[in-house]
Structure 1
Amino acid sequence: MVHGWDERQQRTRNEVLDAVGALIAEGGVEFLTMRRLAERAGVAVATLYNQFGDREGVIVAYVGRGLDDLEQRLDAEPADDPIDATRAVFEALDATIGADPRVWQPVFAMIRSEADLEGLGAVGDRFAAIVEHDLAKASVDGRFVDIDAGRVLDTEELAWHLLGQRLRVLERWAVGAITWAEYTEIGRLGLELSLAALLRGDERIAALRRSGVTRAQ
């Protein structure tokens, strides 16, 4: 009985979050109000407040579901190599956002203007943990250059660096400072140069080539 109730709650939650995306696509984040969302999703306003707390909670939940979709995408086609898996995480991020830019552009613009949005930090923690998992495997496999005696590569710090680097470029796209094509090019450049700074031998050269900073003589 409880299981059935949980399923109904999850179905309602998904319908609400679908409506969130539709409303933002229609009129931006400002168009999203709790009353308008309740009407679109066919639920009571009180239900929204009970499930999400407030409008900001709704947006955080929408971003969180985007990360759920990203994880499912990665699980469906897992990369065998941890460095390729790291690349795949950011490719999946771009695929998720690029599939619906009318929604994600205003969402990231809001995130930029409200960096202290309650609950968003937990979403960032989850994403960084996904990246760090693969970087840690690569480190154990000896894929990175040797550090000074008594020191090891902090893969958690590296994961946060890569995430922060990508988010800063995303924010520039969100406010219209760069195009989507420019975002993807800059994002690839930043990721590959960061990896090239740490990878060994041929893998370092491969990362430099992928970054786009090399050319034929």
Structure 2
Amino acid sequence: MTAEGGLREQHKARRRMRILEATRELLRDGPDSVISAERIAERAQVAPATVYNLIGPREKIWQALAAGFMDELERRLAVLGADDPREVVRSTVRLFVSDPVVSRRMVREWEDSGLVLDRSPLTQLRQAMAGARTQGFLRADIDTDALAAVVGTSCVGALHQWVAALIDDDRFLARALFALDVALAAAAADPHRDRLLAPLRTRGAP
């Protein structure tokens, strides 16, 4: 890529970030408001055509927000340790609750649109579970993809309860970590069983 082409891509990336942040600002201003390309363009101070060119039609906005969510999660895990299943779950929950208005609307729109995410925290959880097996914390015969899927299902259930305001931030985190700890304890290799059971012994079900 030429220097000119690289500069052009940087400008596009900055405009795209501005568009997504404008979308988040509009959601915070009016959680149930209609989000249109025209309103986003006005807030981002770009032409409506720029929104279409860099993001796409309205339904693509939620996909772009999902991609931005995963970008931030991956950045956090790169710093905190993507090889720790508990950190994957904890960081994911904390990212959702850090911007609750946007997160709740984003999740509802994902459901309504039937969006299938290209990337999801389940990928990081699978990798962390596989790493725990490789390190000997989990039994060698454990299917860590299946184990991660079970944990992911429980975490999604807790997420939907949180989106519906049936549980608060702390309970959301507690339920997600409880699901993980139950799975890890059930799959623990003998030398690490007491350590992986410890979190369950020190607290009851959330």
Q: Same fold (TM over 0.5)?
A: yes
- 2:56 is the counterpart of 1:50: no
Percent sequence identity is 24
Change (3 A) 1:111 1:212: farther
Q: What TM-score comes out, normalization by structure 1 length?
A: 0.83
Alignment partner, residue 7 of structure 1: 10
Q: What TM-score comes out, normalization by structure 2 length?
A: 0.87
Cα displacement (A) at 1:25: 1.1
Counting matched residue pairs gives: 201
Change (3 A) 1:48 1:212: farther
Alignment partner, residue 132 of structure 2: 138
Q: Give, in whole Å, the separation in 1 of the partners of 2:33 and 2:149.
A: 30
SS state of the match for residue 123, structure 1? Answer: coil
Aligned pairs for 1:75-154 (under 5 A) are 75-78=78-81, 82=83, 85-114=84-113, 116-117=114-115, 120-124=116-120, 127-145=121-139, 152-154=141-143
- 2:168 is the counterpart of 1:179: yes
Query: Which among 53, 63, 66 is matched to residue 60 of structure 1?
Result: 63
Q: Give, in whole Å, the separation in 1 of the partners of 2:31 and 2:109.
A: 10
Q: Give, in whole Å, the separation in 2 of the partners of 1:184 and 1:160.
A: 18
For 1:99, the aligned partner's letter is: S
For 2:183, the aligned partner's letter is: S
SS state of the match for residue 122, structure 1? Answer: coil
For 1:122, the aligned partner's letter is: D
Change (3 A) 1:166 1:35: same
Cα displacement (A) at 1:163: 2.0
Query: Which among 21, 26, 35 is matched to residue 24 of structure 2?
Result: 21
Cα displacement (A) at 1:141: 2.6
For 1:50, the aligned partner's letter is: N
Cα RMSD for the two superposed structures: 2.1
- 2:198 is the counterpart of 1:209: yes
Q: Give, in whole Å, the separation in 1 of the partners of 2:20 and 2:187.
A: 40
CA deviations 1:166-195 (Å, max 9, x no partner) are: 112101110122222221221121111111
Alignment partner, residue 149 of structure 1: none
